[in-house]
Amino acid sequence: MRKIIVFNLVTVDGFFAGPKGELDWHNYDDEMGAFSAEQMKSLGALIFGKITYKLMASYWPTSDGVKSEPVVAGIMNSIPKIVFSKTLSRINDGPVWKNVKIFREIKATDIIELKKQDGGDIAIFGSGTIVQQFANLGLIDEYRLVVNPLILGSGKPLFKGVKKMNLKLLKTRTFRSGNILLTYKPT
């Protein structure tokens, strides 16, 4: 069965974006780029909320996105994408992004059926409200959190409103930049 994986860069104080959604604090270098490319190769689908989807769709299919990280862009642009949004009416407001489906609501039964399908694991990038809802429904199998050596002080917390859950540490990895990957699974 496929796993649902949360893969996010976070600050030491638990934010995945600044107060207005800023990501300019991401500590991202060539080593992180190579790691991201390797992670992407194991995936069979991506899940986004509306805000993250619009951000990603405005970058990865563009020539800048393709030029900056060709391997990641190639996967991002071809892999199936699921967007959860009650209000998104058009899939493509900018460059065309292939293999996108919009779902209006999160139903645990639908996600469980999705996990039973053949293919690689399914990752959630960004999308804090989706992470929070999936976590509270017990649908997340693994958390891959890249902690950036930064205290932001305020921003969008990744786990706002998530019920207490115990996690088991599966592995860690330290990057030259000071980032640390923490991989957990719910117990």
187 part of a folded domain: no
181 part of a folded domain: no
Per-chain mean pLDDT for the chain: 93
Q: What is the pLDDT of residues 67-112, one digit of tens each?
A: 999 999 999 999 999 999 988 876 655 556 889 999 999 999 999 9
Q: What is the pLDDT of residues 145-157, one digit of tens each?
A: 999 999 999 999 9
Residue 127 CA to residue 49 CA, distance in Å, equals: 5
Burial class (CB in 10 A: 0-12, 13-18, 19+), 1: exposed
Instruction: Report the CATH number that the domain containing residue 114 is assigned in CATH.
Output: 3.40.430.10
- From the list 181, 178, 171, the residue with the least C-alpha distance to 150 is 178
Provide the domain count of the chain: 1
Q: What average pLDDT does the segment 58-62 reach?
A: 91
44 part of a folded domain: yes
Residue 57 CA to residue 138 CA, distance in Å, equals: 28
152 part of a folded domain: yes
Residue 23 CA to residue 149 CA, distance in Å, equals: 14
Contact 140, 4 (CB under 8 A): yes
Task: Name the band, by pLDDT with cuts 50, 70 and 90, for residue 39.
Answer: very high
* Model confidence pTM above 0.75: yes
Full domain range(s) for residue 99: 4-175
Q: What average pLDDT does the segment 42-52 reach?
A: 94
184 part of a folded domain: no
What is the layout of strands, in order, in the sheet containing 121-124?
Answer: 100-103, 81-84, 43-49, 121-124, 4-11, 142-148, 180-186, 167-174
Angle between helices 70-78 and 30-40 (to 10 degrees): 30
Rg over CA atoms, the chain = 16
